[in-house]
């Protein structure tokens, strides 16, 4: 079930924490008039010399500063905040009540904040595929990358990066132990049985971080988080949920999948820093988990395409992260606001040095060619990453206001700590997801 349209359809459309403020002001005016926007959206009166307010997290701040240095004719106030969608929603709600104060451009770390920003009498997010953001740039994003930003026939946000899951493995250890890289979940489990017997104490993964559901159940095609035009479905009795839970339970039991998290606490790092054979995880795991957290030396870690179930004709995987950019419907300078977002999401100089895998296709290619991003690895990760992007399963909503990470941490991991198996936690997970969906105002289907 999907609450968005395909890329091909979209391209043919013409319709519709506290803030730490760093204010930087430069004089001048922007060039060119904003395109006339048709349909229901009616922009406020435009002024090509109107100043911009841009909100970003700390990681994006340098890129905005570079833009400001290159465009001294645009008056920009740069504001740093935590990037959390909940923070953004709360601030926008206050600005809506006040009738003023909205930023012109905002970065958000997650897509689940999309819905509150695109509803109401005057949604905060401006429709971008109606002349505000260049069509040729929209076309340049990875297939389906902008689908979660699209509601009905309208594009409301621009993806910054993609966090597709792949199969990470330590090639040095695999070669040393004589193991072959699995291509299916069944081979993954069989490898776990061999490791448990031949090299006990070595790990093939962990589920102890808050995004365990995204690592394993999303790619398994477990319908735990589906949203279709306001109707939410979480069916954890589906066979895809049960067989993944059972597989992980068996690997937890034989010691090859850990309950502790690589990024949560010190237990995993202390026990498995030099004994992690493999992990299922997003494209940023190589740098931020293997290199930075586990301190694995360069030239050992490799990436392979996502795993799939035997007999499946299509590979599917999950996604763990990826930020988005919004342009405010209240902006008095949409042309300049669009230019800022275009630079931050499509400029080769920005993207080739980005910390995570860009959503813009040519930017992703430049990123992969940059040794600073890929020189750490033992193999060419390009194919695995590209297959991962193309394989993100669209049956898991990226915009539903149901916090699956919170459910995983507070319900699933808590139950595991009490001695339950993953399979035994599925009913509670389902109930929690449905309760949160109902509280969010969705129609919950059984």
Query: Does the 165-318+392-444 domain belong in CATH 3.40.980.10?
Result: no
**pTM surpassing 0.85?**
yes
pLDDT one-digit tens code per residue, 378-396: 999 999 999 999 999 999 9
Query: Is residue 214 pLDDT above 60, yes or no?
Result: yes
Q: Give the residue-averaged pLDDT of 55-67.
A: 97
List the single range of 58-62, 109-113, 134-138 with lowest mean pLDDT: 109-113
CATH code linked to domain 52-159+323-358: 3.40.190.10
pLDDT at position 6 is: 32
Structural contact between residues 212 and 415, judged by C-beta atoms closer than 8 angstroms = no
For the chain, where do the domains classified as CATH 3.40.190.10 start and end? 52-159+323-358, 165-318+392-444
Q: Give the residue-averaged pLDDT of 367-388.
A: 98
**Confidence tier at 190 by pLDDT (50, 70, 90):** very high
Structural contact between residues 361 and 146, judged by C-beta atoms closer than 8 angstroms = no
């Amino acid at each position: 079930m999907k609450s968005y349209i395909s890329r091909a359809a979209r391209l043919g459309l013409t319709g519709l924490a506290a803030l730490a403020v760093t204010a930087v002001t430069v004089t001048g005016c922007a060039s060119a008039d904003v395109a006339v926007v048709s349909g229901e959206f009616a922009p406020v009166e435009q002024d090509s010399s109107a100043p911009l307010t841009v909100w970003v997290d700390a990681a994006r701040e340098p890129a905005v500063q570079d833009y400001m240095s290159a465009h001294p004719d645009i008056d920009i106030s740069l504001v740093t905040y935590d990037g959390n969608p909940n923070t953004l929603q709360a601030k926008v709600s206050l600005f809506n009540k006040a009738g003023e104060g909205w930023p012109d451009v905002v970065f958000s770390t997650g897509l689940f904040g999309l819905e509150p920003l695109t509803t109401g009498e005057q949604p905060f997010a401006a429709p971008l595929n109606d002349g505000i953001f260049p069509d040729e740039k929209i076309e340049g994003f990875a297939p389906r990358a902008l689908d979660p930003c699209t509601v009905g026939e309208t594009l409301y946000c621009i993806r910054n990066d993609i966090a597709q899951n792949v199969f990470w493995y330590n090639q040095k250890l695999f070669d040393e132990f004589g193991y072959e890289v699995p291509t299916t979940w069944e081979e993954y489990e069989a490898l776990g049985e061999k490791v448990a017997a031949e090299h006990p104490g070595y790990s093939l993964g962990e589920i102890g971080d808050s995004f365990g559901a995204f690592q394993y159940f999303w790619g398994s095609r477990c319908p735990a988080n589906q949203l279709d035009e306001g109707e939410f479905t979480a069916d954890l009795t589906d066979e895809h949920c049960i067989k993944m839970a059972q597989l992980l339970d068996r690997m937890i039991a034989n010691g090859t999948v850990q309950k502790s998290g690589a990024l949560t606490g010190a237990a995993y790092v202390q026990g498995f820093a030099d004994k992690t054979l493999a992990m299922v995880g997003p494209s940023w795991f190589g740098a931020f988990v293997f290199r930075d957290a586990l301190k694995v030396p360069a030239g050992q870690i490799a990436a392979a395409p996502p795993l799939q179930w035997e007999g499946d004709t299509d590979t599917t995987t999950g996604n763990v992260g990826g930020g988005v950019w919004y342009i405010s419907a209240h902006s008095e300078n949409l042309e300049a606001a669009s230019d800022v977002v275009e630079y931050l999401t499509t400029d080769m100089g920005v993207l080739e040095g980005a910390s995570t895998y860009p959503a813009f296709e040519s930017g992703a290619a430049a990123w992969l060619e940059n040794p600073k991003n890929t020189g750490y690895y033992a193999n060419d990760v390009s194919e695995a990453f590209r297959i991962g992007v193309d394989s993100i399963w669209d049956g898991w909503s990226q915009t539903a206001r149901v916090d699956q990470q919170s459910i995983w941490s507070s319900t699933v991991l808590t139950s595991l700590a009490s001695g339950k198996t993953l399979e035994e936690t599925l009913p509670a997970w389902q109930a929690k997801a449905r309760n949160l969906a109902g509280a969010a105002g969705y129609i919950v289907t059984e």
